[in-house]
Structure 1
Amino acid sequence: MPDPLLPLPPALDQLLVIRRWLELTLDRVDERIGAVRAEEEARARRRPPPAPPQWWIEYGIGVSRRPDRVHTEACKITNRGKPATREAVLEVLRAVPSAISCPLCRPDSELGLLDG
């Protein structure tokens, strides 16, 4: 009884051509599976990207380039800064009289420098 889902030709030479095409297609699929597995293994071996810095120190313009403001990582007010550690930001706020906390992102609140 013929299979209604997959009608096949009755001629042997046509069936052999279909078989060969299926073999070649299966080989291509197997090669692609191997390539995808290799990509996934390579991706798994890569180091995760470093965490974004939590603090930024913005420097003034000019010759002195003193620290001007400090920001949290989420602040979008400036693109003129360098990543910094919590300790470096605290040191800037304590030691540089002209440096201020950004009024938008309020790093002084996150650092615990404000009372409430």
Structure 2
Amino acid sequence: MNDLLPADLPRLRAIAMYLQLQLDHVGRRIAEAERWEASRKAAARPASPPQWTLQMDVGAEPQPVAVHHGECRIGGGARRRRIGRRDAIEALAVGVMPCALCRPDRELQVD
């Protein structure tokens, strides 16, 4: 036997109980740390790009200039607004130009 442990059974059982309580405590802390890490990673994920965007002009009262697919890299920057499919179709229907690069009118099936 190990010289650091007592030889009698009652004290060995007491040590085993103490160690089990410590192991349970460590297990709970590990689970807590894993939940925290998962929530941190979820918060750090970049937001998904919008499905469609509306490029606005630079005037005092911005007007729509073009409709883009959400992953299109041109047109707007800070002047880009997220829109849904229905809004993209409506914008194209009232004469807002589709982007010549990403061609949202093709995917939206708007002539």
TM over 0.5: yes
Partner of 2:3: 10
In 2, Cα distance between the equivalents of 1:61 and 1:11?
A: 79
Match of 2:62, SS? coil
TM-score by length of 1: 0.58
Unpaired stretches in structure 2, ≥5 consecutive residues: 40-46
Query: CA shift at 1:84, angstroms?
Result: 1.3
The alignment status of 1:86 with 2:79, answered yes or no, reads: no
Q: In the alignment, is the contact (CA less than 8 A) between 2:66 and 2:99 conserved in 1?
A: yes
Letter in 2 for 1:87: R
Partner of 2:43: none
What value does the CA root-mean-square deviation take over the aligned residues? 3.6
Unpaired stretches in structure 1, ≥5 consecutive residues: 1-7, 44-49
Partner of 1:70: 67
Query: CA shift at 1:81, angstroms?
Result: 1.2
The alignment status of 1:107 with 2:111, answered yes or no, reads: no
Letter in 2 for 1:106: R
The alignment status of 1:27 with 2:24, answered yes or no, reads: yes
In 1, Cα distance between the equivalents of 2:57 and 2:5?
A: 83
- The C-alpha deviation readout for 1:51-84, integer Å capped at 9, x for no partner, is 7532111110012311001011111224221111
Letter in 1 for 2:72: C
Identity of aligned residues (%): 34
Q: Paired residues, what number? A: 96
Query: CA shift at 1:94, angstroms?
Result: 2.5
Query: CA shift at 1:35, angstroms?
Result: 2.8
Q: In the alignment, is the contact (CA less than 8 A) between 2:67 and 2:98 conserved in 1?
A: yes
In 1, Cα distance between the equivalents of 2:57 and 2:4?
A: 83
